[in-house]
Amino acid sequence: MAQPPAAPRSRVERPAATAVLVGIAALAPIAVDVFLPSMPAMAREFDTSTGTLSLAVTLFIFAFAGAQLFWGSFSDRAGRRPALLAGLALFVAGSLLCLAAPTIPVLLAGRVLQGLGGGAGPAIANAVVIDTYRRERAIGILALITLSIALAPMIAPVFGGLIQEYATWRVVFVLQAAVGVALAAAFLALLPETNRAPDPSALALSRQAANYRRLFRSRTFVTAALLMGLLFAGQLIFISTSSFVLVDDLGASPLVFGLSFGFVSFGIMAGATACRRLSTRWPPGRIVLLAAAMGWAAAAVMMALALLGVEALPATVLPAFVILAGNGMARPAATATALADFPEMAGLASAVMGFTQMALASTASIAFSAAVQPGPATLAGGMAAASTAALGLFLLARPPAFSPRSPAPGTGAAAATGTPARPSRPPH
């Protein structure tokens, strides 16, 4: 029987457009991490404490997290292009304010503006993917986005360090403004509007309340959001305490710590790459189950070694690599599956998922830091608790969409003819 002709690729499906989406999603980690090597010099120039200057990171993250909720709904109402361009314009304005900042309050105001604008990036990038793909290829593109988010913290500090070494910290914000302008120009040139059915009432309080109810009544969405929040909590616990554990307790030199941290971070990239390859053959439920089980097993090994008194670098670093590989593998499959149920409000769904993950993970990491002292055993315990909770949640609450025996996305009749039609909107 002759196969139906393949549907022509849209402009969004071209590699250059995909690269733009990846860059947009990575904008926030770039803005955070390229700034870090300059913080000591900035503290000296402004004659302030490092604690005060660290607000430039904290305020950015808080603004970024909250702004996603607005940009998601705004993109459902006005379209992805206007929302993203407005967000990038705000990000560039914040960068220029930081560049010209004469005092710490002005610098902090610029970082808040950057965070508010940068929040448009991941919410809209994910929404564009769901607008366009809604089949197994969505998992592959989201895996590329996960790769970029993992790679940015490894590369951005290198560029930031080079800038600080050969120029001044203000050039860091010139770079950030230039990246924002370049992404806006590339988005305009390469990506069409993908929200083909804008919702004029998406920002109305009554519609937002109804949309939030739909999201949080979906077992698929809630399971995916909580799962990724718990997995991300384990990752944040490692990020926040690894320097104390590896350097102070296990005797790693700063160089060895940097290499070890980079190796563990590479686990996210390895997991996302594996997810991308598996997505064409396995259903997303099987990918997420493997990822969660793999992370749990590695965390159990780390905990057992710590309880046995094995205080060696590989006993912490190797299991942490596997745990973060599980995170990188689970994220694209869980995200694509959860968002696929809400194509008519993909912007809001993407934003709520990102905000929920960040809020849950940040709360767990802060509580962990306040409750225990860093050490090999407590680090292992924190990561094991997060991994156990994630696997338990998935096994207990897994909806039919995450069944490991369900058909892989895009294998039905709709996939043979291209992207399925958008479902009709619920009544007002």
What is the pLDDT confidence band of residue 231, given thresholds at 50, 70 and 90?
A: very high
> Which amino acid is located at 363 in the chain?
T
Residue 206 has what DSSP assignment? H
Q: Give pLDDT, residue 407.
A: 56
Structure tokens at 185: 């120009």
Q: Give pLDDT, residue 173.
A: 93
Q: HSE, CB side, 13 Å, CA atoms: give it for residue 395.
A: 11
Q: Give pLDDT, residue 22.
A: 87
What is the percent of the chain where pLDDT is above 90? 38
Query: What are the pLDDT digits (tens) for 289-323?
Result: 999 999 999 999 999 999 998 888 999 999 999 99
Q: Are 94 and 113 in contact (CB under 8 A)?
A: yes
Query: What are the pLDDT digits (tens) for 131-140?
Result: 887 656 788 8
Q: Give pLDDT, residue 6.
A: 42
Structure tokens at 239: 């990020």
What is the pLDDT confidence band of residue 13, given thresholds at 50, 70 and 90?
A: low
The pLDDT of residue 427 is above 70: no
The pLDDT of residue 395 is above 90: yes
> Which amino acid is located at 321 in the chain?
F
Q: Give pLDDT, residue 421.
A: 39
* pTM across the whole model: 0.80
What three-state secondary structure class fits 373?
A: coil
Q: Give pLDDT, residue 81.
A: 93
* CA 282 to centroid of chain Cα atoms: 23
Structure tokens at 364: 């767990």
* Residue range 51-74: mean pLDDT, rounded: 86
Alpha-carbon gap, residue 59 to 35, rounded angstroms:
14
Alpha-carbon gap, residue 349 to 326, rounded angstroms:
23
Q: Give pLDDT, residue 245.
A: 85
Q: Give pLDDT, residue 167.
A: 85
Q: What is the largest CA-CA distance in the chain?
A: 75
Residue with tokens 């914040």: 94
Higher pLDDT, 13 or 372: 372
Residue with tokens 């309080």: 205
What is the pLDDT confidence band of residue 219, given thresholds at 50, 70 and 90?
A: very high
Alpha-carbon gap, residue 423 to 197, rounded angstroms:
10
What is the percent of the chain where pLDDT is above 70? 91
Q: Give pLDDT, residue 109.
A: 95
Query: What are the pLDDT digits (tens) for 176-215?
Result: 999 999 999 999 999 889 888 888 988 889 998 999 999 9
Q: Give pLDDT, residue 220.
A: 92
